[in-house]
Each structure stands twice: as structure tokens, then as C-alpha cells.
Structure 1
Amino acid sequence: MTTLENRPNTALLVVDVQKGVVGGAHQRDAVVANVAGLVERARREEVPVVWVQHSDEGLTRGSDDWRIVPELTPGDAEPLVEKSYGDSFEDTALETVLSKLGTGRLVVVGAETDACIRSTLHGAFTRGYDVTLVGDAHTAGDKTAWGAPPVEQVIAHTNLYWSFQAAPGRTAGVVAAADVVFGGAS
């Protein structure tokens, strides 16, 4: 279990599901639908939903591309953390938000698999969180023009290596959206 003291709660962390990030992403509609289903379940089960929203010179704060996709609407009481780096913890209030919620376990969904999702998974894990990646609720855009593998291979590889992640006192794993258990380890 988490190495963070007095942090028994789980939170759903929704990373960068923004118009300009997932607009042309692999299986965009299916992934957004899986995220939406998890958001609904988390709310019903009174599990905190924490939103992360990226901005940089290519994704300008306040622009239409910067906005969360229309299928998802953060609740008024749900924390929204703005970031400028891949790791959602880097130079943000995320740790403070999660600490106030008593969160020691994160269920992670969103985009981009090979950038912000990967960085956030590792950032959370090294900070002491238990981290579950939802294998069918993250995606990325095609970067084969720059020598990257096809997106489906990037997703498959991320799901593979995260299911074997290990460290003292922490758990990591990958589950399908239908198999997420918010009340404990999936």
C-alpha cells in the first residue's frame, strides 16, 4: 500500500483530456467514453475526481483547444490543476490537493500516453502513491513522422510495462475501465 501516511483514499486523476490534445488521438471517442464512464462511477461512489489541464506555447490557456472536451464537465467542487510540464505534479498544486483529500492511491486516465501520462505515472509512483493505469482510458496522437511507434503500440507498451512496475511499499497496475475498483486495489 501507499508509503504516504494517513492517505487511505483513492482519487480518479483525469489528465489533459482537452480538445487540442485528444482531437486527433487514437480511438479518441472510445477513450473519452471510458473516461466519462469512470467519472460518473467515481462521482456515484463519492470518489474524488481531480482534473489536470495542460497549457504551453502550443496549447494556449483560455483557447478553444485548451478546453476540456465537451463530453466531460468538471464538477464545481472538483479540483482542477493547471500544469505546464508533462508530470502533473511538477510545479503544480496537485500534491497539496491530493494531500487535503487524503489520497494515497491514484487511478489515472487521459492523454498523452507517451508524454504526460507516462510522466505523471512515474511522478506519482516515486512520490509514494499507489498508481493504477486504466489501460483502455488513455491515448495519444500519431508521432510516427518523428520515428515513434504507432500509437496502438505505444499504448500496449505502456500498459505492459506499468503492469510490472514495482517498488517497496507501493503498488502499480493496469486494469480495464470495466474492472476499476475505486474502494481498493484493482
Structure 2
Amino acid sequence: MIQEALLVIDMQNGLTDTHDYPKVLTRINQRIAAYHAHKLPVIFMQHTDEELPYGSDAWQLDDKLARQPQDRVMLKYHSDSFFETGLTTHLQHLGVNELEACGLQTEYCVDTAIRVGHDRGFQMAIGRGLSTTYDSAILTAEQIRAHHESIWDGSFATLLTID
């Protein structure tokens, strides 16, 4: 039996100034609602580091997320959602074998989740445009996202077109 779950990565107050954040948030909330409607698990990863100190306002998940009481929140201290978080065990306990990722930041935590999830045997997916980041010194956030989506598609994940 195929069991799907949604992994929402680092949608936290300290990162709401990323490129096109309001649009990405709206689209992620649509994915959350779709998973809830089908009674599928939704897992929120919450990053902690010097820029997002534990317990600070910046560290808090965005209160505009469509979270429900049954959703799981898991803390992480690295860009890897699977490293020392219990995520793999939790997904295995739920019987999940397909994992859709979304959130922040495209080239860090989202990319790492997709690659590590793939390496751990999960069928990974991500909706086109369902991650975002900041402009870098050499690429715009949009270029970073497009570049990563082209790498993920067919190699590490299925790139979904979601209206």
C-alpha cells in the first residue's frame, strides 16, 4: 500500500522575507489542506540555529500555516531533516513511502531533504514553485529554485505541477 506524507520545511517567522514568501505560503497551505482532506500525515520541520534561536519569535512556525492538532512538529539542528530527528522512524511507523517536500530554503534544507529522503528509499516529490530562498551574490532566488527543480526532476524527486 502506498502511503503519502507532506513534509513542510522551516516555514518560520525568521524566514518570511524570502523571495515570493506570501505566494509560496498560500500554495503550501493548499497542499496542507489537500493532505488533511485525504487524512494523510503532515509533518512540520522546525530549524534551530544561531539565526533561529530556540524559543525566539524568529524560531516559531509561521502562524499563517494551516496546521492542525494532529500534525507533527519535529525539531532539527542541521539542514538535514533526517539527521538525529527521528523522522525516518516516524515515517516508517506510519508506513510512508512517498514524501512530498516543500518550504525553505531551496538550496539548503529542501534540497538536503529531497536528496537524503531519496537515498533512504522514499519516493520524493516536490511541487513546482513550492520552495523559496533568498537571492545570492550570483543568482536570483528564482534562478536558484529553477536550477534545483531541474536537478531534482527525475533524478531525486518527481516534480509536480500543482494548480
d(CA) in 1 for partners of 2:13, 2:51: 13
- The gaps in structure 2 that reach 5 residues or longer are none
Which position in structure 2 is the counterpart of 1:4? none
Alpha-carbon offset, residue 75 of structure 1: 1.8
d(CA) in 2 for partners of 1:151, 1:89: 25
- Select the residue among 162, 165, 173 that pairs with 2:158: 173
Which position in structure 2 is the counterpart of 1:121? 114
Which position in structure 1 is the counterpart of 2:145? 155
TM-score, normalised via structure 1 length: 0.84
Confirm or deny: 8 A CA contact 2:47 2:77 kept in the other structure. Answer: yes
Confirm or deny: 8 A CA contact 2:32 2:66 kept in the other structure. Answer: no
RMSD: 1.3
Q: Which amino acid in structure 1 is aligned with residue 6 of structure 2?
A: L
**2:90 aligns to what SS in structure 1?**
helix
- Select the residue among 12, 17, 25 that pairs with 2:11: 17
Per-residue CA shift, 1:61-112, capped at 9, x if unaligned? 1111111112114322211110011110011111121111110110111000
d(CA) in 2 for partners of 1:68, 1:177: 24
d(CA) in 1 for partners of 2:71, 2:63: 17
Confirm or deny: 8 A CA contact 1:137 1:177 kept in the other structure. Answer: no
Per-residue CA shift, 1:111-137, capped at 9, x if unaligned? 000100001100100000000011211
* Percentage of pairs with the same residue: 28
TM-score, normalised via structure 2 length: 0.95
- The gaps in structure 1 that reach 5 residues or longer are 1-6, 167-171, 179-186
Computing the radius of gyration over CA atoms, which structure comes out larger, 1 or 2? 1
d(CA) in 2 for partners of 1:19, 1:47: 25
**Structure 1 stretches of at least 4 aligned residues deviating more than 6 Å after TM superposition:** none
Per-residue CA shift, 1:148-175, capped at 9, x if unaligned? 4111100001111111306xxxxx2111
d(CA) in 2 for partners of 1:67, 1:20: 8
Q: Which amino acid in structure 1 is aligned with residue 153 of structure 2?
A: S
Per-residue CA shift, 1:3-54, capped at 9, x if unaligned? xxxx720001100011112x21111111000000110111011111011000
Confirm or deny: 8 A CA contact 2:126 2:158 kept in the other structure. Answer: yes
